[in-house]
Amino acid sequence: MHVTQLITPLFRLDEPLTSPFLALAAALLVPLLLQKVEGKLVRAGAVLLGLGVFYGAYWLVALNPQAHLWLERLNSPLFGAYLVVILPALFLPKAGRWRLFLLWPALLVLLAMLAVFDMYSAVPEGREGFYWFLVPAPYLICGVVSLLVLVQPLLGLGRFRFVVKLTCALVLIYGGFALRQNYDDYTAMLKRRPTARQDIMNLSETSPVLQSDRNMLHLPSAPCRFSADGGYVQGCNMELFQRVMQVNAGAVERRETDAVGALNVAVAALALFTALCFLSSRWFCGWVCPLSSLGSVLDWVRRRMRLPHLKPARPVKLAYLLSGIGVGTVGMAMARAFPHLDEQGRFAGCKIPVYPFCKVCPSQQMCPVAAHGPSNYSGLPTWEWGWGYFRVATIVLLGLFAFSFVVGRRLWCRFCPMGMISGIFNRGGMLRLTKDAGKCNSCGVCKEVCPMDIDVVHAEMENPDVSSYDCVLCLKCVEKCPKDGCLSLEYGGVRVTRSQFEK
């Protein structure tokens, strides 16, 4: 029996374990039980009962073919990893039987490694060789998350954040070619590589590992599908919103199959994205985003040169915000013109690429270079594209990105439209930054270390919830606060970590 036959059936896109509905239900129910219900056995019984009810309802609804299709569109193995690894790691007490629980993520890491050997054993005879890591998505996602859970107790908050950012950057930037699902997927990826660039953007060479005609996964941060061979996930939320804008409304009204199918997949992806944002708020910006990880290199250079960082005044912050909204709006407006392009790819005489915002986004310029070196740089668009808009905007935004990280830490994140969208969930989502004002001595450390120059954590003395729209949840304020228990991160009302003074 192959090891991939153990877990893969549970993580198929038609399984309840990969459903965002189950993830949302568990995320809301488990913290409530921990706070309101006495007794471990009663809690465990309530969770099992709820799980059984959900599974029964899921399969009952799935008896309808159309409902089953929609459930499949909404599911993702990412939610399976969230349920079986992340939630237990967040809520189980870090004492007593915690070491016993760690056997579970250790087993998942082992299974992920064995799955690679399984995939290599399936390589056709006579074609043996090195194909990087051939591993199905459920094993890769669960394995990576489990590995991070295992190393977390060994590291301080700052070092753990660095490990998470490095791991996510490697997966999202290099995963398109180094983490294909099997041998056939790897060889298909090689065939898609272009022999010559015919345009400023070639979609035929960018097929994400999790590519599916029925299901798309977009992260709240900036993983670029135009990185190495399509990246690992579909892309960022701005690519998703451009897809929504590109749907041909007239064709949908005429019930044309392709247009209706594109709309259904986009709506399902929006629902999946919304669930992910509710579960994570803007945490992806502080811990996962590969674009901010690349920018952190520039920030590191500035710090090594002992140069001071800029603390932007309110007008500068507002200018960045409005500029980001403006560039995002222009990209969305151009994407809306996509159904009306002529044979030359023009609308009203203006030549427009497939994803207009992606063309000017620094991710589409930097991630391919980071993955395959300078030779993979796509080059600047010619003046005919958007009457020169894309050429100028690409140069300006690359310069703005470099300037923002060199002189102002995360100043770029105030411009980023991707972060603006997920920041909406910083209030009302599962994650919450809290403060015990009675323990605060107004030292100002939290304000000094905050890369987003947020003042509310330092200034607030009445409301315990100090979450803010701009916060990227990097938790540097929690890490550096000198007062035990003054600052905390809560998930669903349950404290996950708190400030601890290192003597």
Mean pLDDT along residues 324-353: 88
196 pLDDT higher than 60 = no
Lowest mean pLDDT among 178-182, 301-305, 452-456: 301-305
Instruction: Go through the domains of the chain in sequence order and give each one's CATH number.
Output: 1-154 (no CATH), 290-423 (no CATH), 427-498 (3.30.70.20)
pLDDT value at residue 202: 66
Mean pLDDT along residues 300-326: 89
360 pLDDT higher than 70 = yes
pLDDT value at residue 135: 93
Task: Tell me if residue 334 falls in helix, strand or coil.
Answer: helix
Lowest mean pLDDT among 85-99, 368-382, 429-443, 467-481: 368-382
C-alpha pair distances (Å), 74 with each of 122, 437, 438: 30, 41, 44
Q: What percent of the chain has pLDDT over 90?
A: 49
pTM across the whole model? 0.91
How is residue 434 annotated by DSSP? E
- 433, 465 Cβ separation under 8 angstroms: yes
Q: Go through the chain and tell me how many residues it has.
A: 503
d(CA 430, CA 327): 30
199 pLDDT higher than 60 = no
Q: Where are the beta strands (DSSP E) in 355-479?
A: 431-435
| Summary count for the chain: helices (H), strands (E) | 24, 7
pLDDT value at residue 184: 93
d(CA 90, CA 400): 37
Amino acid 43 reads R
pLDDT value at residue 83: 93
275: confidence class by pLDDT, cuts 50, 70, 90: very high
195 pLDDT higher than 80 = no
How is residue 465 annotated by DSSP? B
372 pLDDT higher than 80 = no
pLDDT tens per residue, range 59-94: 999 889 989 888 888 999 999 999 999 999 998 877
Task: Tell me if residue 254 falls in helix, strand or coil.
Answer: coil
Question: Can you read off the two tokens belonging to residue 418?
Answer: 């991707």
Q: Residue 364: count other Cβ atoms within 10 Å of its Cβ.
A: 23
182: confidence class by pLDDT, cuts 50, 70, 90: very high
- 458, 444 Cβ separation under 8 angstroms: yes
Mean pLDDT (the chain, rounded): 88
Instruction: Please provide the DSSP assignment of 358-384 as one string.
Output: HHHSHHHHHHHHHHH-GGG---PPPTT
Mean pLDDT along residues 236-254: 90
Task: Tell me if residue 236 falls in helix, strand or coil.
Answer: strand
pLDDT value at residue 44: 79
218-219 and 235-236 strand pairing: parallel
242 pLDDT higher than 90 = yes
Lowest mean pLDDT among 177-181, 210-214, 318-322, 420-424: 210-214
pLDDT value at residue 367: 85
374 pLDDT higher than 90 = no
> Among 137, 136, 164, which Cα is nearest to 148's?
164
